[in-house]
Structure 1
């Protein structure tokens, strides 16, 4: 492809420097993995700070939202090897593995390949794909050891974060460079996770400046399809850095960057151009080539105890090449916010942002766009006032976000949240918010040719496609009824309008469907999670979630698919995680998960499944940790995903597997 940005060259050079420097580095070791497995007791858990709900730190226990924090200790003990697998820990979040390198992840329903109603961020940098609308999880592959926590918000957050934070938000927060001093090297090998090599080193330049560099590479095995091998192996290499430094007493700075390159195996069924519009297809087993990088900079200034100013900017480059489409997408983003304590019982946070997205596309017979390249802009501003109605007991937050995008113009997303803490062991909260999902480019000027269940189809974008709306009502309660027990309950009612539909405009052949906004719907349900510290060495974490969804095409709509989307999410999900310290150096963990059945829009049933992971971890000495982990042990294989109308790639099964892992700090 012709166009490329200079920052791509800079990112490559940075990674090359990181890789070259690794053998030369030496230093002190960080805390050994497993040394403080139960560092967070219930008292400390109540005080864990989250920043995603209010764009400023607040204690998890007092937060007026359905938020779950996955800590670094939980990540380590879960046995997960990827971020999507880690997210199974969060109640109410549906994680579907489509094949060995693709996932569909959403909170409170409306899941799919890109799950366009979820906003996902890494250190506040949005990874929402501006072309497709949603997240390509196969590209979000950090070193799990570098993650401090993952904040998972079920429910909308558009008041502060803007469009597409509709059903939920995931914010992955990485550790500072100061927290990761010394070296780390790890290797994982097994039946599915063939090989995973990673290394990291953290050092200091002076008393105020810290850095870390990392590199990792892995290869994942093929997954089966009905007893045969699929073509979904996954090979990826990644490197990057982070620096944290201070300038005097008032200023803090952070800069981090990543570069990745890999191959994603997939089997794609597409129409044969020689026979179109007859339903003749060809199957291609191919390796999609992906590469990209990002660079983020943040400056935080705290001139006094009453205010804080923050400026954050990032650039992001993505390139993907496959048989149906080659694309290059470049993003520049600037975000500024100011927090001010107006009075002892009133706080204000406000800010503004700008985003520019530039894409360049090479099309195929299956995928076509009205323009080969396009540049879009987003302007935004927000304000939120927080009032302490009763000191340390009753807090009210009111705010809104205003945005202007090139597809639908101005959008506003107001919200109100109330938190009541009658005692230091109880928190009640309630909220009402409006959130929107704005169109992506594929919904405006895209044409897809596809053969679906033997029927040739043409799906066309719509330049008049508008915003999808949600008004959400939520109520929650957190309590610590006993010194060793914590309970969290959240309920919700979602009212959707102007949702996406496919209108049949020509029966063909081929049949022609136009993307439109002619569906409304509602969903309701609840999530509950509990933690019980049975004794000093044994902890149980459990969760259960229920959802009911109903979708209704508007009068005159002839959408043949959308009503069935209400069955595309399991009504019931549950998990139980047991973590036991057998001795001071030996730990045993077991994770049991249940997912109810799914009946997607194509009529393909996914049966309910119960699965279990378990692992044994041995802290050999202060520097070496060994682990053996078995995953999905209750059956040889199970399917979690059926098929996709838009992206007709073959889904595979999740196999029973085992791996061993060694981690050495130095």
Structure 2
């Protein structure tokens, strides 16, 4: 999406709005306009003009108007946030882009609980056990925030905040049906007992993902999930309260058959080739996902100027995948494993030799010359190559060897935190605390057992007002990671207030990201079971990948200049920032079984500007604009794929009266893995009052792709640019 095209979209939507904005001070129906506050920037409650950085808040009205079924789609409303899809059930959300297939550099919280997976350091966006209908708002800190939330908040923090149970009493049922297999169900019941108020929510979600891959065949990337969430608040006297939450989720994500054959069939003159041609495994490597968590948060207002909080939670995630595979018995050959351990590229050449038995690779003179002169293989290893080729040649008159593989992974986290917030004087306030976390990842395939980690944190943020115009901020996090060592992340910021709701800011931050367990401590190899077919000369699969164990933390330095302002009389809020960010020691290599070579050799630099404006034009019209320009350099080409230079959104929300609401939202980016993305979304809803305390809302949601490209990847294709789904929601 080019900048002129973005401006054209803005003008197109703007032409539908009233030509002259009405002063909100003159609108008696709107009432007093209250300034919002945010909680996720420094752990202190602040107005947007006081935040030491850039903040985006997606409120309940905007979330509902978007018609989004999933949280990643909401992130398109955040300037500089890039959303890519590996498949229909695997989304990646990156601030300013970088790697297309991994999102490892943002902290994601649900009510303060991290859903950033400890083993693989990713977020399963489609598996978060929280219904979008239960979200009150999403606060996004756009920039490094390790000073407040520790390593992994390298490029930002997304805090998803649930609606308080006292605001969602009664019964609510919502059904959504639509094209592409969409079949969603949501139900909640609010209730009270004693001094507690609670809400029980049930959620079911299902769709078929993308329609087909590039060759026109069906794409197996659908999903199905069911989740339960129980949220409650209990008052303990006049100064203390406990919020508690528990949840569970189960589901399955479709995945294509996930095994690459070493010896692909080439003709039908041998039993092996005929069997492999006719093989229909009738199995797949679909992933079964199960999540469980329990969370407690105790607050004690010791005085009007002093609050003590204790937060603790436990969570467990399971991703289970098992399937049958068939191949030449040579994949269990000790000679092939020896060749792989010498260098994985040598084993990859064996694949060429076995797949091209009638071509040039069948000539020993050719492949010997290639492997020695081009791959650098020592000549003394050539007998291994000849031996492996002979083993397979002898096996071609036999059936293939079949076996069961799995990629099961179980991740567990326990975390406890104490936080102290004190208003020391009228001009000085602080928040400080300590956090202790234990992570565990168990997988026979990925870790050859279990990997554990313990992380301790000391954090503090200080805010000092100097007269009417200056606000100074200092924050830091000291963190001791058992696997990665010690780190210190400071942040300094200064605000100059042009007026109480208008400030200029300058921010300097340093941040880190610790290598995850998989990058640094993997020992990935298959442990096959249930062998059938041809016998093997060994029971150990040839390929393995071992983490280096000595990866250093990624380090980021960030400079930001910005403006935040709120014009009360116009209902207009604006945030603008210019930034310069650089990350070194980056780990950018693909984490795969073959050619697993992570290191700290990559570097990325981002320079640019972002803007967002939210304008409540009248009591019926709201216009919201975002735009990001990012100029970047990345030493690794994989980090160049999800960073468009121009991206943004335009949203118009309208209440027409008679309980009719509409929204039109344009999203655009000029490069998502070298593919243009432009989409126009619409929502039209009508609410019918059924009684004093009950109502029915019917809504039509519509998406239209303005481009004709695959979404992120070539194979992510839909049959039709148009996409419709309907929802019916009953409250009583």
Does TM, scored on the shorter chain, surpass 0.5?
yes
2:634 is the counterpart of 1:566:
no
Contact 2:77 2:648 in 1 (8 A): no
Aligned to 2:582: 495
Quote how far apart the aligned CAs of 1:642 are.
2.6
The residue aligned with 2:606 is 523
Correspondent of 1:586 among 644, 648, 660: 660
Cα displacement (A) at 1:531:
2.4
Pair 1:50-2:38 in alignment: yes
Residue 402 of structure 2 is matched in structure 1 by: none
- Post-superposition shift, 1:475? 1.3
Structure 1 residue aligned with 2:196, among 209, 218, 222? 209
Determine if contact 2:180/2:207 at 8 Å carries over to the other structure.
Answer: yes
Residue 311 (structure 2) aligns with: 312
Q: Secondary structure at the match of 1:135?
A: coil
Q: Choose between structure 1 and 2: higher helix proportion.
A: 2
Residue in 1 that maps onto 2:536 = none
State which of 202, 213, 221 in structure 2 corresponds to 1:232: 221
Deviation at 1:61, TM superposition (A): 3.5
- Which residue in the other structure is 2:442 paired with? 360
Q: Which moved more, 1:148-157 or 1:55-64?
A: 55-64
Label 1:290 to 1:181 Cα distance change in 2 as closer, same or farther (>3 A): same
Quick one: distance in 1 between partners of 2:638 and 2:147?
A: 30
* Structure whose CA Rg is larger: 2
2:669 matches 1:595: yes
Offset of 1:320 from its aligned partner?
0.9
Alignment partners' CA distance in 2, 1:98 and 1:511: 19
Aligned length: 586
Cα deviation, residue 362, structure 1: 2.9
Query: Which residue number in structure 2 is paired with residue 184 of structure 1?
Result: 172
- TM-score between the two structures when normalised by the length of structure 1: 0.83
Query: Where does residue 397 of structure 1 map in the other structure?
Result: 473
Q: 1:569 to 1:155 in 2, by over 3 A?
A: same
- Give the drift of 1:43: 7.4
Q: Distance in 2 between matches of 1:42 and 1:465?
A: 56
- Worse-superposed segment, 85-94 or 149-158: 85-94
Q: What does 1:607-626 align with in structure 2 at a 5 Å threshold?
A: 608-621=676-689, 622-626=694-698
Q: Show the counterpart of 2:243.
A: 254
Deviations 1:419-446 (A, max 9, x none): 2222134221121111000011111232
List aligned pairs for 1:85-484, cutoff 5 A: 85-192=73-180, 194-206=182-194, 208-224=195-211, 225-226=213-214, 227-272=216-261, 285-323=284-322, 324-363=406-445, 368-369=446-447, 371-391=448-468, 393-447=469-523, 460-480=546-566, 483-484=570-571
Q: CA RMSD in A?
A: 2.8
Greater RCO, 1 or 2 (C-alpha within 8 Å, sep 6+): 2
After superposition, the Cα gap between the structure-2 partners of 1:384 and 1:613, relative to the gap in structure 1 and judged at 3 Å, is: same
CA contact (8 A) 1:435 1:471 kept: yes
Shift in Å, 1:586 = 1.1
- Contact 2:89–2:209 (CA<8 Å) still a contact in 1? no
Alpha-carbon offset, residue 581 of structure 1: 1.5
Give the one of 630, 650, 655 matched to 1:576.
650
Tell me which residue corresponds to 2:328: none
| C-alpha displacement of 1:651 | 4.9
**Structure 1's 41 and 639: CA in aligned 2 closer, same or farther, altered over 3 A?**
farther
Q: CA deviation at 1:141?
A: 4.3
What displacement does 1:154 show? 0.7
1:544 touches 1:573 (CA, 8 Å); kept in 2? yes
Give how far 1:175 is off: 1.3
Counterpart pick for 2:620 among 537, 557, 560: 537
Alpha-carbon displacement from aligned partner over 1:150-173 (angstroms, at most 9, x marks no partner): 001110110111001011110001
Deviations 1:77-98 (A, max 9, x none): 1111111112211111111233
SS in 2 for 1:199: strand
> CA 1:513 to 1:662, structure 2 compared with 1: closer, same or farther past 3 Å?
closer
Q: Is the 8 A contact 1:313 1:335 kept in 2?
A: yes
Query: Who is 1:661 aligned against?
Result: 727
1:624-639 → structure 2 map (5 Å cutoff): 624-634=696-706, 638-639=709-710
- Given that residues 99 and 653 in structure 1 are in contact (C-alpha distance below 8 angstroms), is that contact kept between their aligned partners in structure 2? no
Which SS does the other structure have where 2:64 is aligned?
helix
Are the structure 2 counterparts of residues 64 and 222 from structure 1 closer, same or farther at C-alpha, using a change threshold of 3 Å?
A: closer
Judged with a 3 Å threshold, the aligned counterparts in structure 2 of structure 1 residues 191 and 653 are, in CA distance, closer, same or farther, namely: closer
Q: Deviations over 1:343-376 (max 9, x none)?
A: 221112110011111222131xxxx43x411221
